[in-house]
Amino acid sequence: MSQSPVLEVRGLEKRFGQTLAVNGVSFAVQPGEVFTLLGPSGCGKSTTLRLVAGLERPDAGDVLLNGELISSAATGQHLPPERRHMGMVFQSYAIWPHMTVLDNVRFPLRMRRAGASESRKRVLDILDVVGLTGLESRAATQLSGGQQQRVALARALVHEPALLLLDEPLSNLDAKLREHMRSEIKRLQRRLGIAVLFVTHDQSEAMTLSDRVAVMNLGVVEQLGTPREVYAHPASEFVRDFLGRAVLFEGSVRRDADDYVLTLDGEAGARLRVGSAALPGLADGTRVVVGTRPEDARLLPLDAGVSLEEPNRLRVCVAETAFLGERIEYTLRTPGGKTLVVFGARHEEHPPGTELALVVDTAEASLWPA
C-alpha cells in the first residue's frame, strides 16, 4: 500500500555565511498528510520551507515534487517558485491592502493566465470553502485578522496546489482566534484532502494539527514520528524537553520477566516497574533515567488505601502549589530530597505540607542510559 510521496526532501543543506541553517534534512510528505516542522527559533524551519518553495537554492541535496526533481544542488536544477504548484502562507500573511478580497485571491490565477470566467468561479468556490462568501468586494484592510488570514489561505489554495506550505500562519492572531483557525485549517485540509507542510515553534499547535512531526534543532531533524510517538517516546533530551515537561527518575535496574524494576536512588527503597522494550538487554545494576509526563502521575491521599510497598508509588510532600486555571501545578519533594512537578485537578487542592502518595503510570515511560 505504499503510495509515492507528494514531497520528498533528501539531504538538504543551506549555509548563510558561517551559519549552517539546514544541515542534512530529509523527510517525505505523503498524500493528504499534515507534516510539521517543529522546533525553536532559528533551528532552520523557514529555511527548509523556502528551499521547498524554491525561494532559496540548496547547497546540497534534492527536492522532489510528485517524484519529479525540482531542486538539485548536484545538477543545479531549479524550478522557479511560480512553477512549483505549491500554495504558501507566511507568518505575515502579506495580502495586498489596496486590493479587494476578490482580487487578492484571484492573483495567483492571473499569474497563471487563467481565463476570466473560470477564475471568477474558482475564486468564489474557494471563498466559500474558507467562509468568506459575501466579502468579495471588501478592501483587504477592512477585514479582521482572522478574515485576512482566510484570504491568505484562499489565495494559497485557489490554484489547487499539490502541496500547501504554511509558515507560522497563526502567530499573529490572538489566542482564541488562533485556536479557532487551527481547527478551521484542519477541517479545510480534510475537506480538500491536500498535503500540508506546516512550520511552527508551538508544540501544542503541532500536536493538534499534525499527522507527523519532524522535531528540528540546529538545522537537524532530531526525531520524526506521530505526535504521540515523539511526545511519549522522545529520542533525545532536546525533544523531551522541547515538547513539554518531563518527570524524571534515576536509579539502577534489575531484570524481572519482561520488565525492569528500577530502584530509585536515595528514595527509601521505592521502585518503578517499566517495560524493557524501549531499551532491551540491560545488565542488572545498569543505571538509567526513566522519563514520564506530568499527566502520567496522580496524587492520592495517604489514607486512600494505597500501599507504598508496591512499585510505582512514592511518598511525597507538597512543597508549592500554583493555580493554572484548568488545573493545579504541584511542586513535590521526595524523601530523598528530589523535586518533581506534576498536575492535579482544580477541585481538590492539597495545601503545602500535605503528605501524599504519587502513583506513576509507566506504560508510556521512556528509558535512557544515565
Ligand X SMILES: Nc1ncnc2c1ncn2[C@@H]1O[C@H](COP(=O)(O)OP(=O)(O)OP(=O)(O)O)[C@@H](O)[C@H]1O
Q: Residue 52 interacts with ligand X (CB under 6 A)? A: no
Cα distance between residue 89 and residue 204, in whole Å? 20
Which grid coordinates belong to 72? 538539485
Of the candidate residues 6, 25, 36, 45, the single one contacting ligand X (CB under 6 A): 45
Of the candidate residues 23, 36, 46, 147, the single one contacting Mg ion (CB under 5 A): 46
199 burial class (0-12, 13-18, 19+ CB within 10 angstroms)?
A: buried
Nearer to Mg ion among residue 168 and residue 222 (C-beta): 168
- Give how many residues touch ligand X by CB under 6 A: 12
Q: Residue 16 interacts with ligand X (CB under 6 A)? A: yes
Of the candidate residues 12, 35, 38, 46, the single one contacting ligand X (CB under 6 A): 46
Q: How far is the CB of 339 from ligand X (least distance, A)?
A: 31
Q: How far is the CB of 89 from Mg ion (least distance, A)?
A: 13
Residue count of the chain, please give it.
Answer: 370
- Contact positions with ligand X (CB under 6 A) in 179-208: 201
Q: Residue 170 interacts with ligand X (CB under 6 A)? A: no
Nearer to Mg ion among residue 21 and residue 127 (C-beta): 21
Q: How far is the CB of 47 from ligand X (least distance, A)?
A: 3
Own/partner contacts of 43-48, CB < 8 Å, gap of 24 or more, are: 43/216, 43/217, 43/218, 43/219, 44/14, 44/216, 44/218, 44/219, 45/167, 45/199, 45/200, 45/201, 45/216, 46/167, 46/199, 47/14, 47/21, 47/22, 48/9, 48/12, 48/14, 48/22, 48/199, 48/216
Piece of 12-20, 46-54, 216-224, 291-299 that binds Mg ion (CB under 5 A):
46-54
Q: Is the CB of residue 6 less than 8 Å from the CB of residue 84?
A: no
Piece of 34-42, 121-129, 147-155, 244-252 that binds ligand X (CB under 6 A):
34-42
For residue 156, which of 194, 186, 183 has the smallest C-alpha distance? 194
Cα distance between residue 175 and residue 173, in whole Å? 7
Q: How far is the CB of 198 from Mg ion (least distance, A)?
A: 12
Which grid coordinates belong to 34? 499534515
Q: Which does 44 bind (CB under 5 to 8 A by kind): ligand X, Mg ion, none?
A: ligand X
Nearer to ligand X among residue 60 and residue 124 (C-beta): 60
Q: Is the CB of residue 333 less than 8 Å from the CB of residue 316?
A: yes
Cα distance between residue 351 and residue 285, in whole Å? 38
- Contact positions with ligand X (CB under 6 A) in 201-240: 201
Of the candidate residues 9, 23, 33, 47, the single one contacting ligand X (CB under 6 A): 47
Helix (H, G, I), strand (E, B) or coil at 164: strand
Place of cell 515553534: 201
Q: How far is the CB of 5 from ligand X (least distance, A)?
A: 22
Query: What is the helix (H) or strand (E) element at residue 178, kind and residue range?
Result: helix 175-192
Q: Residue 88 interacts with ligand X (CB under 6 A)? A: no
Q: Residue 47 interacts with Mg ion (CB under 5 A)? A: no
Q: Which does 47 bind (CB under 5 to 8 A by kind): Mg ion, ligand X, none?
A: ligand X
Looking at the DSSP assignment, which residues form a beta bridge with residue 313?
A: 359
Cα distance between residue 90 and residue 305, in whole Å? 55
Q: How far is the CB of 74 from ligand X (least distance, A)?
A: 22
Q: How far is the CB of 52 from ligand X (least distance, A)?
A: 12
Cα distance between residue 69 and residue 109, in whole Å? 24
Q: Residue 89 interacts with ligand X (CB under 6 A)? A: no
Binding stretches for Mg ion (CB under 5 A): 46
Binding stretches for ligand X (CB under 6 A): 16, 19, 21, 39, 41-47, 201
